[in-house]
Structure 1
Amino acid sequence: MGNQPLIVLSDDSQRTSGKDAQSMNIQAGKAVSEAVRTTLGPKGMDKMLVDSSGSVIVTNDGVTLLTEMEIDHPAADMIVDVAETQESEVGDGTTSAVVVAGELLKRAEELLDQDIHATTVAQGYRQAAQKATEALDDVAIDVDVDDTEILEQIAATAMTGKGAENARDLLSGLVVDAVRTVADEDGIDAENISVEKVVGGAIENSELVEGVLVNKDRVSDNMPYFVEDANVAVIDGALEVKETEIDAEVNVTDPDQLQQFIEQEEAQLEEMVDELVDVGADAVFVDKGIDDMAQHYLADAGILAVRRVKDSDAQQIARSTGATPVTSVDDITEDHLGFAGSVAQKEIAGDEHIFIEDVEDAKSVTLILRGGTEHVIDEVDRAIEDAIGVVRTTIVDGKVLAGGGAPEIQLSLALRDYADSVGGREQLAVEAFADALEVIPRTLAENAGLDPIDSLVELRSEHDAGETGAGLDAYTGDTIDMEAEGVYEPQRVKTQAIDSATEAAVMLLRIDDVIAAGDLAVADDDEGDDMPAGGPGGMGGGMGGMGGGMGGMM
């Protein structure tokens, strides 16, 4: 081969190596972080997302923003994964996790510029994350899972700044009741908490149904509106005459034969309804259709029937009432029936719903959210989802932390002390990690229109004096005792955020070669000229284009 270069990549491939690759990935991560940073805290701003079809989402929920944004860069996607992991594990703290990840990358970039190797930074970050997790145990507050007041305060903290301010006390009480109701020996499955969004009325009109709410109405007007002390049957099938499995042709030569066919079908349908009557069913929920003649027989028997019930609704009805779903009425017995003190059709904001209430041991509940517009209800729904997540996590773990940036300041001070005992250049990475954590209280201050430097100085002073619960009141700008104020968040929200952010930052820092089949990103500058991808300049332009696009859209 001599000195002839060996080409192993296609002409369309793009390769970025060394510091250029690191810089490219860091810029991508920082751009994602900056896109959501202004939404953090009780005074965070909202973003408006408009998709290609014109659908609008107005929210400040971190994971919603990041999943709806059309991010097309592998490094940026890794930061989005941080938010999704945070959401799935604890249900809240997604914005904090992403902001911390972005700040870790920013601080790492400064160390890389000082010729500190990426593996050294990564090692220091891992040590700092482990120490931070241990330090959180020292300031964690034990919570009695039966302490409803603290659970409601935790739910209220999660909903602060998310469109539910006026009804925060009401909603936090409903959330706690809902989570405690569905808890059993197997834990807490949030899938057993349904949220029914109803446009009309005010948020204050929201209510909790200890049972199931089905967005359907009874199949016949001749059926009763209300059944008291109802035996409930759930049928995973249809109340219709079965069709033949093979194609068949029937020749009818006279009207009597046709009449016989009709009468035979009616007899089969009547027999199905008789099976339900014999076992004592008062309310029937069917997965598929109900024949018109079957509807007639059911109405004559005084049975309230609902057809085409969603699988999720059927499962909740079964769980709530104790019913056992059957695939055919031929198999039903009294043991398959559930019980509800009340099954009734009621109107909410002009729509008919079936309420299944007064069950003996409600392990499935429905939260009815009311609001003036669809956008308002959607945002409150996202706040409720976060609140459910933090209450569930608190009940499972039994440990919380004071909010308002207090844990981050405490960790920052602890890590600076710890850095003195760390040898080598890793000490600089630990100190950078400590600085990065302060991005949370600093951002809370910035979003509240306060001076971040003054706020940080005051917070550090309070924590140096031993006030571990001192946090920033975004409304007044004062440093207050968050524990006394009742501002809490689960410990796992912080530990998960730190772990996920650290893992993502370390993974990006350890990448020194990016090989792509095509351009990673192409953006247009102000003059409309194409900006090529490749190298830190091209990637910076690409991510800048994304950030600028989001800025213009938001």
Structure 2
Amino acid sequence: FYRVYVEDPSRVRLRGMATVRSNIMAVNTLAELLKTTLGPRGMDKIVVETSGEWFITNDGTTILRNIDVRHPAAQLLVKAAEAQDGEVGDGTTSVVILAAELLNRADRLLQLKLHPNIIIKGYKHALDIALKRMRELAKPASLDNLEILKKICETSLSNKTLGFAKKHMIKIAVDAFLHIIEQREGKIYVDKENILVVKKPGKSLRESLLVEGLILDKGVAHPLMPKRINDAKIALISSPLKIEKAWYQKTEIVVKSMTDIKQILDEENRFLRENIVEKLLKIGANVVLCGDAICEGVQYLLAKAKIMAVKRVGISDLWRLTKATGGKLVASLKELTEADLGKAQLVEEVKIGPDKLLFIKGCPRAKSVSILLRAGSRRQLDEAERAFNDAIMNLITLTDEMKYVPGGGAIEMALASIIRREVSNYQGKEQMAIMAFADSLEAIPRILAENSGLDSVKILMKLRSLHEKGEHHYGVEAISKRIMDMFKAGIIEPLKLKEQILKSAFEIVSTLLRIDEIFTGLEFFEELPKPEEKDVPPASESKKK
């Protein structure tokens, strides 16, 4: 390990093994931070933000996003973990642990004078074996099998602090998932944006509920408006509802008495009534959701006409409403027709604590649903939202490849056993890298055992014995602290999730192993070349003469 300084000691240049070990050290730091959070008996972390705010979580992505990471290798790992979370919504902790283990094994091979490209090639062979055999070990899933969907959610929520509300949250997640599924050209399509999560502190998580439609964090615009509308005909408008002043902007108005003022106000009210209220009544609209302001005059007239109105609705909520109600979002009231109206069985204002929410229920095309999360504090709400996101993303990931594999480290042990058996099909030094990949996979069940307070060496020996006999479904059941058949225990994960974990870890490791030099600073020259002719005076002296 050596450093080459360039004039300023803050400008550092690392070469050769120093580069590799610097990268490995950075990745190991993150892995040590996250590995205790893995599994149902994983520990939580308190993360203190720069603003002084803090929260408790064991979600790998959330932890990585909120810590100050400066080393380039560690930053690369954080970006890869965020990409993993965006792609499948889970597995970031496993990616970091597996990447660190692969790099540590690679470090030992580098000390034995194996070239990084040979290690990468061996790892690639092992990855190909793992991906192929994992598909063979996977079992098919069906959207009609609710038990499988619930077990996948339960596995993803096993390390979340949801208490007695876990089963209730699983039911909400599965119901929401089934509501937003679409069939397009014979393929399953699921858009997570069709699920709106509204968080309100108070009561407990068991009071959370699913609404087949939308929940708007808004109340009605005027206190005299109706608070409940059955058989709602909903107008969705993005422009403001107010008087058009163009008709008198270039006109000089002379007011001589209070009667003249009353006439002007009466004329404004007549204009608003004829051009806004009567237009809405004519096409049958009894609910107006506006993306901009509604002037007070229009609010009063709408209230007199028994029309419910909500102002300043977010544009994303308006688009969700078009999917749920079947209505059309129009830019101006002039464009609105009866065919553009959305429909809902019920639109109701509900008071939740000090806040007012608008519930839009019984939508005929409810491809959008809303989840109202309740909890005792904001921090509990945030953690519940992260848990719900993990559960939904696991279900969406399942639709990409309708297969699932055993969890609890069972699939990793199975792949390690299979790779060791097939390593004889390859020749040369690549065999050492393939074996290192197999050994690295065992880090997942080992850490699960350690976090559960078990003897990891004994657990690994027992699991190896079982998997050598072909019992590839056995893994660590952390709650009961036993080795069990994961399929029977209901601990299962989507195939696509496990594939993505292996691919992400391999990509990070192959990228870092190809780096043989790190430059810190803008200048990399150790020292400037000296002039060959010694009798030539320096430039400063020649100027003085």
Decide: shared fold, TM above 0.5: yes
Q: Name the residue aligned to 1:499.
A: 503
SS of residue matched to 1:106: helix
Matched, 1:130 2:134: no
Equivalent of residue 456 in structure 1, options 449, 457, 460: 460
Q: Name the residue aligned to 1:98.
A: 96
Equivalent of residue 270 in structure 2, options 259, 267, 270: 267
Q: Give deviations 1:251-297, integer Å, cap 9, x for gaps.
A: 64534665555444333322212211111111111001111010011
Tell me how far 1:116 sits from its aligned partner: 1.2
Tell me how far 1:215 sits from its aligned partner: 0.7
Does the CA-based 8 Å contact 2:118-2:429 persist in structure 1?
A: yes
Q: Give deviations 1:140-168, integer Å, cap 9, x for gaps.
A: 01011211111011011101111124222
Q: Name the residue aligned to 1:235.
A: 237
Tell me how far 1:245 sits from its aligned partner: 13
Tell me how far 1:518 sits from its aligned partner: 6.2
Q: 1:252 to 1:117 in 2, by over 3 A?
A: farther
Q: Name the residue aligned to 2:34.
A: 36
Structure 2 Cα separation of the partners of residues 457 and 245 of structure 1: 87
Gaps of 5+ in 1: 1-6, 520-554
Question: Between the two proteins, what is the percent identity of the paired residues?
Answer: 37
Equivalent residue letter for 1:384:
F
Structure 2 Cα separation of the partners of residues 364 and 297 of structure 1: 31
Q: Give deviations 1:118-177, integer Å, cap 9, x for gaps.
A: 111111111111111111111101011211111011011101111124222211111111
Equivalent of residue 45 in structure 1, options 39, 43, 46: 43
Q: How does 1:283-302 map to 2 (within 5 A)?
A: 283-302=287-306
Does the CA-based 8 Å contact 2:323-2:365 persist in structure 1?
A: no
The worse-fitting range, judged by mean Cα deviation, of 261-270 and 419-428 is 261-270
Q: Give deviations 1:204-238, integer Å, cap 9, x for gaps.
A: 11111111000110011111111000001111111
Q: 1:476 to 1:245 in 2, by over 3 A?
A: farther
Equivalent residue letter for 1:351:
D
Q: How does 1:127-526 map to 2 (within 5 A)?
A: 127-186=125-184, 187-242=189-244, 252=254, 254-255=256-257, 258-259=261-262, 261-270=264-273, 271-517=275-521
Q: 1:203 to 1:8 in 2, by over 3 A?
A: closer
SS of residue matched to 1:502: helix
Structure 2 Cα separation of the partners of residues 73 and 366 of structure 1: 40
Q: Name the residue aligned to 2:539.
A: none
Structure 1 Cα separation of the partners of residues 244 and 488 of structure 2: 66
SS of residue matched to 2:218: coil
SS of residue matched to 1:227: strand
Does the CA-based 8 Å contact 2:6-2:12 persist in structure 1?
A: no
Structure 2 Cα separation of the partners of residues 260 and 513 of structure 1: 82
Q: Name the residue aligned to 2:52.
A: 54
Tell me how far 1:331 sits from its aligned partner: 0.9
SS of residue matched to 1:284: strand
Q: Name the residue aligned to 1:529.
A: none
Equivalent residue letter for 1:269:
L
SS of residue matched to 2:215: strand
Q: 1:344 to 1:512 in 2, by over 3 A?
A: same
Gaps of 5+ in 2: 524-545
Tell me how far 1:17 sits from its aligned partner: 1.3
Equivalent residue letter for 1:199:
P
Structure 2 Cα separation of the partners of residues 240 and 9 of structure 1: 68
Q: 1:409 to 1:246 in 2, by over 3 A?
A: farther
Structure 2 Cα separation of the partners of residues 264 and 251 of structure 1: 13
Equivalent residue letter for 1:300:
K
Q: Name the residue aligned to 1:538.
A: none
Equivalent residue letter for 1:382:
R
Tell me how far 1:361 sits from its aligned partner: 2.5
Equivalent residue letter for 2:225:
M
Does the CA-based 8 Å contact 1:239-1:269 persist in structure 2?
A: no
Structure 2 Cα separation of the partners of residues 475 and 188 of structure 1: 32
Give the TM-score of the pair, scaled to structure 2: 0.90
Does the CA-based 8 Å contact 1:252-1:258 persist in structure 2?
A: no
Structure 2 Cα separation of the partners of residues 59 and 472 of structure 1: 23
Tell me how far 1:364 sits from its aligned partner: 0.4
Structure 2 Cα separation of the partners of residues 358 and 98 of structure 1: 44
Q: Name the residue aligned to 2:68.
A: 70
Equivalent residue letter for 1:240:
K
Does the CA-based 8 Å contact 1:97-1:501 persist in structure 2?
A: yes
Greater C-alpha radius of gyration = 2
Does the CA-based 8 Å contact 1:369-1:377 persist in structure 2?
A: yes
Tell me how far 1:86 sits from its aligned partner: 1.2
Tell me how far 1:395 sits from its aligned partner: 2.8
SS of residue matched to 1:169: helix
Equivalent residue letter for 1:55:
E
The worse-fitting range, judged by mean Cα deviation, of 241-250 and 437-446 is 241-250
Tell me how far 1:89 sits from its aligned partner: 1.2
Structure 2 Cα separation of the partners of residues 268 and 422 of structure 1: 85
Structure 2 Cα separation of the partners of residues 391 and 173 of structure 1: 12
Structure 1 Cα separation of the partners of residues 252 and 57 of structure 2: 60
Q: 1:306 to 1:509 in 2, by over 3 A?
A: same
SS of residue matched to 2:37: coil
The worse-fitting range, judged by mean Cα deviation, of 383-392 and 11-20 is 11-20
Tell me how far 1:13 sits from its aligned partner: 3.9
Structure 2 Cα separation of the partners of residues 68 and 251 of structure 1: 60
Q: Name the residue aligned to 1:523.
A: none
Tell me how far 1:414 sits from its aligned partner: 1.0
Q: Number of matched residues?
A: 513
Does the CA-based 8 Å contact 1:159-1:165 persist in structure 2?
A: no
Does the CA-based 8 Å contact 2:400-2:496 persist in structure 1?
A: no
Give the TM-score of the pair, scaled to structure 1: 0.89
Structure 1 Cα separation of the partners of residues 248 and 454 of structure 2: 75
Equivalent residue letter for 1:64:
T
Does the CA-based 8 Å contact 1:345-1:352 persist in structure 2?
A: yes
SS of residue matched to 1:167: helix
Does the CA-based 8 Å contact 2:212-2:369 persist in structure 1?
A: yes
Structure 2 Cα separation of the partners of residues 248 and 27 of structure 1: 73
SS of residue matched to 2:93: helix
Q: 1:512 to 1:338 in 2, by over 3 A?
A: same
Structure 1 Cα separation of the partners of residues 264 and 54 of structure 2: 54
SS of residue matched to 2:373: strand
Matched, 1:116 2:114: yes
Structure 1 Cα separation of the partners of residues 226 and 123 of structure 2: 66
Does the CA-based 8 Å contact 2:153-2:394 persist in structure 1?
A: yes
SS of residue matched to 1:38: helix
Does the CA-based 8 Å contact 1:287-1:309 persist in structure 2?
A: yes
Does the CA-based 8 Å contact 1:145-1:394 persist in structure 2?
A: no
Tell me how far 1:18 sits from its aligned partner: 1.2
Q: Name the residue aligned to 2:23.
A: 25
